[in-house]
Amino acid sequence: MMDEETRYEAVSSRDARFDGEFFFAVRTTGIYCRPSCPAVTPKRKNVTFFPSAAAAQGHGFRACRRCRPDAVPGSAEWNVRADVVGRAMRLIGDGVVDREGVPGLAGRLGYSARQVQRQLTSELGAGPVALARAQRAHTARLLLQTTSLPITEIAFASGFASVRQFNDTIRGIYARTPSALRAESGTGAGPRTAVSAGVPLRLAHRGPYAAREVFDLLAAEALPQVEEVTGAPGARTYRRTLRLPYGSAIAAVDEESPGRWLQARIHLTDLRDLTTAVQRLRRLFDLDADPYAVAERLGPDPLLGPLVAARPGLRSPGAAEPEEFAVRAVAGQQEAARLAEAYGTPLERPCGGLTRLFPEPAALTGHPVVGSLATALADRAVRLDPGAERDEAEHALLAVPHVTAETAALVRMRALGDPDVAVHPRADREAWRPWRSYAGRYLDRTAASPDPSIESYA
C-alpha cells in the first residue's frame, strides 16, 4: 500500500507505472488525472487521491482532457486478488451491473447487495452503480469520438437507461455535452468511422509489452474457423469470433504497437456488447498486468533473472472465452477443431477464415470426451465467469471426468486469469509468489529460452 506522500512523488515524476492504480484530483481546478498526466504538477496542498475514477467523479471532479484518466489500464490488483472486491471488479468490467443490476452482481458473488456496496465503497470510494457508470461514460466517449453513430444510439449502446441519464453523466464527467465532446479536435482518436467498419480501439497496457511472445502463443493455439493469425512476425494480426451476451463479434488486434497500447477493431452485431468485448480482449492479452511488480519479484532470482531481463513485459495470456478454453483444454487441438466444425454456430456474415462461433457447452453434452465437462458448465456446477471463486472452480473441475490436475490448473491460469498458478513443473517455488504463472511463461522455451531442456507447457 502506498501512502499519500509516495503517491505525490509518483505524480511529480509523472510515473506511468501507477496509471490505473490510483487517481489524483486538484481541488482548485475541479479536475482529476492519471499519475502520468503531462500537465504542470499541482501543489501538494491542492491534491486529493482516489482509488478509482468513479470515486473522483463521485466527489464532483471532471476527467482531465490531456491525460484521459478514463482510458488507463485497469488495476493489476484485481487480477491478483481472489476476494469479493476483486471478483466484483472483474464482473463489473464484464458488464454484469449493466445487464443484471446490483442484485445480479451480488447473487453471482454470493453476498447481499448491501454487503457488496459496503465493501466496494470502503476500498474504492464508490459502489457498484458508480463504478459501472464510470465505465459506461468511457464507452460513450469512445463511441462518440470514433464512430459516426447517432448520439441517441450511443446512449443505449453504452448501457445508459435513458438519453437524459446519458447527457447528465457526460456533462458531469467531461464538463461538456455529448455533441461538444464529439466535436473536439486534437483528441488523437482519428477520424470517425461508420460502425460497419468496426469500432477502432486503443487497448492500453502498463509498462513494456512483449507482443511477439503473446502472438506466438496465439498463433500456435489458433483454432480454424474460430481464430486466425495473419501477417509476418512483428506485423501480425490476431482475429477471432466472440459469443457475447447480446450477439456476436469479430475482434482483431495488431501485434505492431505504436505506443502504450495495442491497436484493435471490433465488429459487433449489437453495440451493447462493446464493453464486454473489450474486457474479453483485455483478459486474453493480459493488458492489466503489472510488469514492474513481476520483474521486481522474479528479476533477482538466479534462474529467472536473465530471462526477465531478456524479455521485459512478458505476459501470461488469459482466455477470451473461458468455457471454450476449458473444453479445448480437455479435448485437445484436433478434436476441438472437429467440435467447432460439427457443432459451432455459423456466422451470418463470415469474414475471411472466420466462419463460426465455438459451440456452447449445451451443444456438447453428449460428446464422449468433453460431454461431462460441457454438462457441468451448462448446469453451472463449474463456473468460469469473471467473478468465479478460483479455488471452488478448480475443485469443481477436478470432480469432472477427463479433467486432470494439470488441466484444471491450466484452466485456472488461463480461463480464470490467476497470476499465481504453478503450471510449469519448475515454477512451484514460494519465492515466486504471487507471480508463478509468469515464472512459468519465462521458463517456457517458446516464450523466453533457447535451452532445449526447458520444455513448453502451453
List, by residue number, the catalytic residues.
Answer: 33, 428
Which residues make Cβ contacts (< 8 Å) with residue 445, sequence separation at least 6? 451, 452, 454, 455, 456
Cell numbers 519479484 correspond to 297
Q: Are 357 and 345 in contact (CB under 8 A)?
A: yes
Q: Are 269 and 301 in contact (CB under 8 A)?
A: no
DSSP letter (8 states) at residue 45: G
Strands 31-33 and 62-63: parallel
C-alpha cell at 74: 485497469
Which residues make Cβ contacts (< 8 Å) with residue 154, sequence separation at least 6? 140, 143, 144, 147, 166, 178, 271
Q: Are 437 and 419 in contact (CB under 8 A)?
A: yes
Q: Are 379 and 393 in contact (CB under 8 A)?
A: no
Q: Beta-strand (E) ranges in 284-353?
A: 345-351
| Bond into 434 cis (ω within 30) | yes
Strands 199-204 and 47-50: unpaired
d(CA 97, CA 92) in angstroms, rounded, equals 6
Q: Dihedral through CA 450, CA 454, CA 457, CA 458, nearest 10?
A: 0
Q: In what order do the strands lie in the sheet with 227-230?
A: 199-204, 261-268, 248-254, 237-243, 227-230
Q: Are 251 and 242 in contact (CB under 8 A)?
A: yes
